[in-house]
Amino acid sequence: MPAQLSPVAPMRISDLCQAMEVYLSPTQTREVYRAYLFAAEAHEGQTRLSGEAYIYHPVAVAAILVQMRMDHHCLMAAILHDVIEDTSVTKIKLRQTFADEVVEMVDGVSKLTHLKFRSRAEAQAENFRKMMLAMTRDVRIILIKLADRLHNMRTLEVMPPAKARRIARETLDIYIPIANRLGINNIRHELEELAMAAHWPRRYQVMRKTLQRRRGNRREWIDDITRILSERLATDGLTAKVRGREKRAYSTYRKMQEKKCRFSELADVYAFRVIVDQVDTCYRVLGAVHNLYRPMPGKFKDYIAIPKANGYQSLHTVLMGPQGLPIEIQIRTGEMHVLAEQGIAAHWQYKGEREGSATADAAAKWLRSLLEVQQNTGDSMEFLEHVKIDLYPDEVYVFTPLGQIVELPRGATVIDFAYAIHSGIGNHCVAARVDQQLVPLRSQLRNGQAVEIITKQTASPKPGWLNFAMTGKARTGIRTYLKQLEVTEATALGQHLLEHELNCLGMQPEQVDPARRTEMLHELGYADLTELQQHIGLGNRSAALAARLLAFPKDQTRLSAPLSIQGGEGLLIHFARCCGPVPGDPIIAIFSHGRGMLVHHQHCPNSGEFRRRSKDSLEVQWDDQVSGEFHTTLRVDVGNQRGMLATVAAVIADSGSNIEDVRSEERDGLSLRLRFTLMVRHRKHLADVLRRIRALPQALKVGRVIG
């Protein structure tokens, strides 16, 4: 490992070159120095808030990456990482001077400063998406960004307190989870401590002092346990390094938050790490320590056989030590320890030697999932939402019917499992068997369960799935399908509406003059007829108006006959909940921008208001063949007697109607007002329900709510 470099003092290029020479060739070191000369000239005259020359920052970022032994191209990009964003140097000029590999890394780290955004949040989300997608092409980009953030956090004290807290919050929400997801724990731990110190300075100081006081009181005890463990392993012929592991302020604080307890109420767990040479030795050490101290039930985890989502591997066990104090022991090989500290960065150091390492495989899997989410996501804010979900993977491990392990975040449901297998399985799943038992799709999964998905080719995602889908992949898959379905239905509905209006005007679609159609589409700003039909179906354009523009010159108008409503048209025809129209009612449709048609009862007070405000109302009528059930609301005043709600509900159920919602309120102490939202097939069915309720002796007043 290169010499440890100071995290605070300004970094000189001579110190950086000396550290690089430990593992880079002289030619590679000279290339990094050439990048330094270019960056120093570009940043000439620029200073940081601390007053020091700006060039010290990119050199310090490169120094952090030198500690990870990153390659010379990565170090060059680190030194150049701010020249596109903060100087007059363009990407074209940079490409004329340095290799494409270096330029693409610099561009991946640079923010989108040349674009205008509606809000700061949108700008942050788009910059985040740009960086994450660049990372999928070259993971070194995120390593540069993490090093950049680490140095900024180390020098955060010069920032105004409000800005420092904002940067610390962003670090906690985004950069620390990314470091964790890629297994780069040495950077993650330092970022956690720095972010806590900036965001909760008083809590951090109190926590540090408390930990230092406890550590001092137990120092001798920790040394004794370290000695006892080392002697026992040596007696069993096992070569290992044993060291006590210090607790950190942030991890302790987070544990207090999770358990909702005070510091004094935390279990006084002392942690030790045992480093060995081979994997089989890990298990032999486990047996030795279990013979030395009694293991605590349910506290053993084998992350070697089943690595964490970020590739972390180790054996964890908790023992009941001397004086009844619990001891946590982590057992791993030296290689596992390097991977646990440096994550994907360690893989990059030994590229070619560690293909197939758990960390590299986990990172590659996550990066592939990022690409899939991006390809199916509508905008940067939605992308950020999905990635944030996947950045907190407190893992659950479940099994496919073939015995393959699937990693999911804690709280994941059957639907998340289905989409984790394949988006096609997710889109067509209807139920599942968990440990051979049928369960609904919203069932949460637990460690070790075996899950089998039951699919049906005609099944499709439902909007309600979004209420219990946890992973970004599942939520993206559901939303993508629903958007495609909406567009397909909108186009079909728009075609139907347009053809209907043309028929009412005495014209078939094929009779429309092509020149007139082209002119009208150009006037309305549509590329083709399909786009117009889609906008008609979505409610953004009136079918009646479009038909008149297609059929006649602008100064001619004709009335159209009512459109027939069948009740099962899909996502783009909605029935107003305020008046609950049912087949047989006089109705009118209002075009709602972006939602399609909203069907109201003609006597609904709201429909009159909508008609006055909207130019796109449409006369509609019920078709002779209506299908489905429809919401409507009844108001029932009854005598205030025990059991009246159950009595009325039983009458409604006996009439073949399903109650969706019920509310009650006491009026004058003598009577009770019940409001039922129920499902009926048509007005005759509704009349039958009303007749049965009115027949009750306790019924005082029964009526339907319209508006």
Q: Does 132 have pLDDT greater than 70?
A: no
286-300, 366-380, 391-405, 589-603: which is most confident: 286-300
Long-range contact pairs involving 124-127 (C-beta distance under 8 Å, separation at least 24): 124/170, 124/384, 125/379, 125/380, 125/381, 125/383, 125/384, 126/380
**Residues 486, 488, 489, 491: what is their CA dihedral angle, to the nearest 10 degrees?**
120
Return the axis-axis angle of helices 201-235 and 185-199, rounded to nearest 10°: 150
**Domain match, 515 and 455 both:** no
Q: Whose structure tokens read 């909940």?
A: 577
pLDDT of residue 56: 93
pLDDT computed for residue 593 by the predictor: 52
pLDDT at position 278 is: 92
Residues 327 and 215 in one domain: yes
Q: Which of 169, 202, 235 is the last residue of a domain?
A: 202
pLDDT of residue 123 exceeding 80, the answer is no
Given this model, what pLDDT does residue 6 score?
Answer: 40
- Answer yes or no: do 184 and 235 share one domain: no
> Looking at the structure, do residues 228 and 113 belong to the same domain, yes or no?
no
Q: Is residue 2 part of a domain?
A: no
Type of residue found at 2: P
pLDDT average, residue stretch 399-420? 85
Provide mean pLDDT across the span 631-644: 88
**CB under 8 Å to 210, separation ≥6 — which residues?**
263
- For residue 460, pLDDT over 90 is answered with no
pLDDT at 353 exceeding the cut of 70: no
Which domain CATH number covers 30? 1.10.3210.10
On whether both 317 and 343 belong to a single domain, the answer is yes
252: exposed, middle or buried (C-beta count within 10 Å: 0-12, 13-18, 19+)? middle
Instruction: Give residue 613's pLDDT band: very low, low, confident or very high (50, 70, 90).
Output: low
Q: How far apart are CA 111 and CA 330, in angstroms?
A: 40
Rounded Cα distance between 474 and 427, Å, is 9
Better-predicted residue by pLDDT, 676 or 613: 676
Is 613 part of a structural domain of the chain? no
pLDDT value, residue 416? 92
Query: Which range is least confidently modeled, 219-233, 432-446, 472-486?
Result: 472-486
In this predicted structure, the answer to whether residue 30 has a pLDDT above a threshold of 90 is yes
Catalytically active residues, by annotation: 85-86
What is the per-residue pLDDT for 538?
67
Asked whether residue 250 falls in the same domain as residue 184, the answer is: no
Same domain? For 446 and 537 the reply is no
Residues 282, 305 within the same domain: yes
* Distance from C-alpha of 172 to C-alpha of 392, rounded to nearest angstrom: 11
Please report whether residue 166 resides in a domain: yes
Give pLDDT, residue 671. 84
Instruction: Determine, yes or no, domain membership for 586.
Output: no
* 545 CB-near residues (< 8 Å, 6+ apart): 616
Number of domains in the chain: 5
Residue 196 sits in the same domain as residue 217 = no
513 and 473 in one domain? no
Residue-wise pLDDT tens digits, 678-687: 999 999 999 9
The answer, yes or no, to whether residue 366 has pLDDT greater than 70, is no
Q: What pLDDT score does 393 carry? A: 53
326: three-class secondary structure by DSSP: strand
Angle between helices 72-79 and 100-109 (to 10 degrees): 50
Residue 354 lies in a domain: no
Give the model confidence (pLDDT) of 527-571 as tens digits.
Answer: 888 888 887 776 667 676 678 778 766 554 444 456 677 765 554
CA angle in degrees (0–180, nearest 5) for 53-57-58: 120
Confidence band for 291, pLDDT divided at 50, 70 and 90: very high
> What is the rounded CA–CA span in Å between residue 428 and residue 350?
42
Q: Tell me what pLDDT residue 5 has.
A: 41
The residues pairing with 701 across neighbouring beta strands, listed in sequence order, are: 637
Q: How confident is the model at residue 112 (pLDDT cuts 50, 70, 90)?
A: very low
Domain ends where: 522, 539, 561?
Answer: 561
- Does 419 score more than 60 pLDDT? yes
Q: By C-alpha distance, which of 179, 182, 157, 177 is closest to 167? A: 157
Distance CA 252, CA 264 (A): 11
Q: Report which of residues 635 and 114 the model is more confident about.
A: 635
| pTM of this structure | 0.56
Helix (H) or strand (E) holding 342: helix 334-342
| Cβ-based burial of 81 (10 A; exposed 0-12, middle 13-18, buried ≥19) | buried
Query: Which residues form the domain of 228?
Result: 208-349
Q: What is the tens place of the pLDDT at every residue in 469-503? A: 888 788 888 888 877 777 787 788 788 888 887 88
Confidence of residue 152 (pLDDT cuts 50, 70, 90): very high
> Residue 117 pLDDT more than 50?
no
Read off the pLDDT band of 131 (50, 70, 90). Answer: low
H-helix segments, 68-160: 72-79, 83-86, 91-97, 100-109, 120-137, 140-154
Return the structure tokens found at 46: 């620029």
Tell the burial category of 472 from Cβ atoms under 10 Å away from its Cβ (0-12, 13-18, 19+).
buried
603 lies in some domain: no
Same domain, 547 and 415: no
* Residue 317: strand pairing partners: 329
CB 538 within 8 A of CB 572: yes
Is it the case that residue 73 has pLDDT exceeding 80?
yes
Do 464 and 508 fall within a single domain? no
Quick one: pLDDT at residue 97?
Answer: 93
> Which of 349, 371, 401 delimits the end of a domain?
349
Residue 131 lies in a domain: yes
Per-residue pLDDT, averaged over 262-266, amounts to: 72
**Angle at the Cα of 573 from the Cα atoms of 569 and 576, rounded to 5 degrees:** 130
Give all strands (DSSP E) within 184-249, no chain letters: 241-245
Is residue 571 domain-resident? Answer: no
